[in-house]
């Protein structure tokens, strides 16, 4: 066996590119204050209902922030961009494995968690939590919040 046999096989045919995700309506793109206070209420409730949630960001799949509920020490624009990067990787994994649309991804770090949830086909809810957060409780409460946010975004 030579060195070439120890490497993983290379792709021989180019895979078709996935269609680009839908873009946010112009009325939402980059708008930090939405006309629907219910969106802010949903995000604040998530923080208040689950101990350890530091805040959340609603952003587009393009990485632009729509609105946020995070403390000053967290940059909501960075969180929206990281959520989009997480979505991009999760979408590629789901396409490659044939497991359907992206729904959720969680990253655990030494000091906490970063979770991203799909909010319809065009937006993402990212949640930052401390290491003490009950992740199971987060995964129980956040998807219904994401569904309600998707419904609210459709009304804009």
pLDDT in tens, 24-64: 444 444 444 444 688 989 999 999 999 999 999 999 999 99
Place 72 in a pLDDT band, splitting at 50, 70 and 90: confident
Instruction: Give domain status of residue 38, yes or no.
Output: yes
Distance in angstroms (rounded) separating the CA atoms of residues 113 and 107: 6
Note whether residue 117 is domain-resident: yes
Give me the pLDDT at residue 156, please: 73
Q: Average model confidence (pLDDT) for the chain?
A: 84
- The CATH number covering residue 41 comes to 3.30.450.30
Residue 90 pLDDT class (50, 70, 90 cuts): very high
pTM: 0.77
User: How many independent structural domains does the chain possess?
Assistant: 1
Q: What is the pLDDT of residue 14?
A: 55
Structural domain harbouring 82: 31-154
- Give phi and psi for 13, each to the nearest 5: -115, 140
Give me Rg for the CA atoms of the chain: 18
Q: How far apart are CA 36 and CA 59, in angstroms?
A: 15
The least confident of 22-26, 42-46, 65-69, 94-98 is: 22-26
- Residue 16 falls within a domain, yes or no? no
- Residue 69 tokens read as 């509920």
Q: Mean pLDDT across the stretch 80-101?
A: 94
């Amino acid at each position: 066996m030579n060195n070439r046999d120890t490497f993983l096989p290379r792709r021989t045919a180019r895979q078709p590119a996935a269609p680009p995700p839908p873009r946010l309506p112009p009325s939402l793109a980059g708008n930090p204050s939405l006309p629907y206070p219910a969106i802010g209420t949903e995000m604040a409730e998530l923080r208040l209902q689950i101990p350890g949630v530091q805040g959340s960001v609603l952003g587009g799949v393009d990485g632009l922030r729509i609105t946020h509920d995070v403390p000053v020490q967290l940059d909501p624009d960075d969180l929206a961009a990281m959520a989009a990067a997480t979505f991009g990787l999760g979408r590629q994994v789901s396409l490659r494995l044939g497991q359907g649309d992206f729904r959720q991804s969680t990253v655990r770090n030494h000091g906490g968690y970063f979770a991203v949830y799909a909010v319809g086909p065009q937006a993402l809810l990212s949640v930052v939590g401390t290491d003490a957060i009950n992740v199971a409780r987060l995964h129980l409460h956040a998807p219904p919040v994401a569904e309600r946010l998707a419904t609210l975004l459709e009304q804009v």
